[in-house]
Chain A
Amino acid sequence: MPPAKLDAEAMARRAAGFIAPGDVVAVDTGLPSLIPGVTPPELGAWFLRNDGMLNNLPLSLADAAAITRGGYVNLAIVNAAQVDAAGSFAGTVSAANPDRQPPANSVDLAAGSGRVIAMLSHTDDQGRPNIVEALSSPADGLRCVNAIITDIAVIEVNGGGLALSEVAPGWSVDDVRAQTDADLSIPPALREMDFSLPANAPPSKVYPDGPSAIADVPDGATVFIDGFGGPGGMAHYLLISLRDRGSRDLTIVSNTAGIARVVSFGTPPGRTAIDHSVLIENGQVAKAIASFPVSPSVSRPSEFELAYRRGEVDLELVPQGTLAERLRAGGAGIHAFYTPTGAGTLIAEGKESRNIDGRDYILEYGLRADFAIIRAHKADTNGNLVYRGTSRNFNAVMAPAARVTVVEVDEIVEAVQLDLEEVVTPGVFVQRIVKRPDGFTGYE
């Protein structure tokens, strides 16, 4: 007789062993909901729950789902009723109501996550196997499970089927096979489950200075540049750092293409405002995607305008709301959307038009970038950001849509010091933090 099966907490501990430092982990209801309680806090994991809480950070469900769909989840742990040999799984609701019930919630977690782990009892209440050759109810996720944790085994799913990688203490391969309704291959590395947990911290997000934080921006990169028009909310220090680095052929995406220099916005006499113009003057920009690319003053054209007239730069003009929505879509895993903005105008040329319920829409696509350089007032060491006033506007919407988001802040505080209700950008969207040097201003 094999020994008793693992209890739920032991299963949760084994699942926690899959978490790498700093991982974003989406935890389903049921068994996976126990994992945060057994994970060492030093690991710096971000647990996303289905009520919109990201650790202690309250999010709207639209923002929470954007984290999942947007590809920010390293590990999704679903509460499954059955898993089959192809790595498809059925959630508990689907399994209980196979005749009429469409898939339940875990499909969210199945889409867009790095790795998917299914947790379940190896057998059901009647002792029938839950690891099966083919599901007996419709799938919540098709061929998406990478590993299975049960109360007697850990099973890896690879293209060729299921491989038994770990057994619970005291359990033999034959014991596990006897309770499994799918072929299990036995790799040489088969071992007994280990419940020890790593507690190493993730690498710090705090960089010593601007140049080190943008040192890997390559030629040809797409870069989001934050800010609205004037000096507020613009990462001036990072802009100068990017100029000094000299990356070329950049596509910049921003509300303007640099108008602060030619529109005063309160620039002190004798000074020059730092904006996108520093990159354009330096010959680094190949293209701008912007809402307000030119100066409102005909007699004082912006650097971008002059370069455009010389044929040195390309321009894609995007209405402001559409720019924001394309950024939001890019960060939220929405690949395209229909918007009424611009329908029937020049903006619609070359785009799909569609009448939906009597209103004309055009199809616009999500926008992503290699880097975002943004500005916030405060960051904690986890990268959670607080803005001040209007500086929130494009910063908050750009942060999730770039592969690497670098933020310039006035102040960096310890993780426990921010009011979590005040955080606008969760740290999962922020990879690098730089403090703006004391005395640095938006003017040269």
Chain B
Amino acid sequence: MTFSKLYDTPATAVADIHDGATLLIGGTTRSGEPTALLAALLTIGVRDLTCICDFADWDGSEGILQLAQAERIARVISPFPFVGENGGVIHKQWRDGALAVEVIPQGTLAERLRAAGAGIGGVFTPVGLGTRLADGKETRTINGVECVLESPLRADFALIRADRADALGNLAYRGAQRGWNAVMAPAARITIAEVDTVGEPGAIDPELVITPGIYVNRVVYTPPTGDRG
């Protein structure tokens, strides 16, 4: 019996994403964004999405911007939801009260995702002390360092991008693709990866696998289109 996580199209891979879902969206500026999955998500018309991502209102994140333009996003959780005061559609919707924004520093976001994926109930971190980030959170001095308690952050779906996969869902990345995609893969109930190449099990040198297939539920082969980083 062959077990495969391969899906034929991005549309079938995202078909059960529902209204109100919390999504992890991988990638940094111009690298590693799951563009095909985001495009498919736009076509199925789900609404009230919570999007957790690195850069949102940024010219490298077209997929998220298109979702925002179509008014599908209710909440953005991001270190960089928009840039300065001249942001685009997400900044405008936030100013108009149509969309909620929560800013979390990169490292804390990464650690909260990691905690969720690793079954950790919370972490005491020194980051954010004395800023509004610590407002309302438990603090504690450990080894002489004042720390704030941060909780794990888990999502319904992760939409990620990798360079190559095998049919078991083992993933390898290229360069900065690894950044968020590798952290997000373990932190969602269902992780969907779009990849440039797919091989038989074992096609990726095990020493080079970054995300073990146990974290990946669905794999979609999306041939590179040239302008994708």
Interface residues of A (CB under 8 A from B): 50-53, 58-62, 64-66, 68-69, 92-93, 96-97, 101-108, 111-112, 138-142, 325, 329, 332-340, 354, 356-357, 359, 361, 365, 386-389, 421-422
Shortest distance in angstroms between B229's beta carbon and chain A's nearest beta carbon? 10
10 A-B pairs with CB atoms under 8 Å apart are: A58-B174, A61-B109, A61-B179, A62-B111, A102-B133, A104-B79, A104-B105, A334-B123, A338-B123, A339-B121
Choice from A61, A104, A354 contacting B183 with Cβ under 8 Å: A61
Bits for B114-126, please: 1 = Cβ < 8 Å to A, else 0.
Answer: 1100111111111
- Known interface pairs A52-B176, A60-B110, A333-B125; 4 further A-B residue pairs with C-beta atoms within 8 A, sorted by A's residue number: A52-B180, A61-B106, A65-B108, A334-B123
- Whether a CB of chain A sits under 8 angstroms from the CB of B7 is no
- List residues of chain A with CB within 8 A of the CB of B54: 51, 61
Q: Which of A101, A105, A139 contacts B105 (CB 8 A)?
A: A105
Contact yes or no, A359 B28, CB < 8 A: no
**Could you tell me the distance in whole angstroms from the C-beta of A142 to the nearest C-beta in chain B?**
4
Residues of B within 8 A of A (CB): 28-29, 31, 54, 79-80, 82-85, 101-103, 105-111, 113-115, 118-133, 140, 142-143, 145, 147, 151, 172-180, 182-183, 207-208, 210
- Residue ID in chain A nearest B86 by CB atoms: A96
Q: Is there an interface contact between B123 and A329, defined as CB atoms closer than 8 Å?
A: yes
In the complex, are the beta carbons of B120 and A104 less than 8 A apart? Answer: no
Given A69-B107, A69-B127, A138-B132: A422 in contact with B207 (beta carbons within 8 A):
yes
How many pairs of A and B residues are in contact by the CB < 8 Å rule? 177
The answer to whether B82 and A62 touch across the interface, beta carbons within 8 angstroms, is no
Chain B interface helix/strand/loop/mixed? mixed
Contact B142 A335 (CB under 8 A): yes
A-B CB proximity, top 4 nearest: A65-B107, A52-B179, A338-B121, A96-B85
A421's closest neighbor in chain B, by CB?
A: B208
| Complex Cα–Cα for A422 and B176 (A) | 14
Residues of A within 8 A of B129 (CB): 111, 142
On chain B, the residues within 8 Å of A357 by CB distance are 121
Complex: A112 Cα to B80 Cα, angstroms: 21
Min CB–CB distance B22 → chain A (angstroms): 15
Contact of B172 among A61, A387, A421 (CB under 8 A): A421
CB-based contact A64/B120 at 8 Å: no
Residue of A68, A96, A389, A422 ringed by the most chain B CB atoms within 10 A: A96
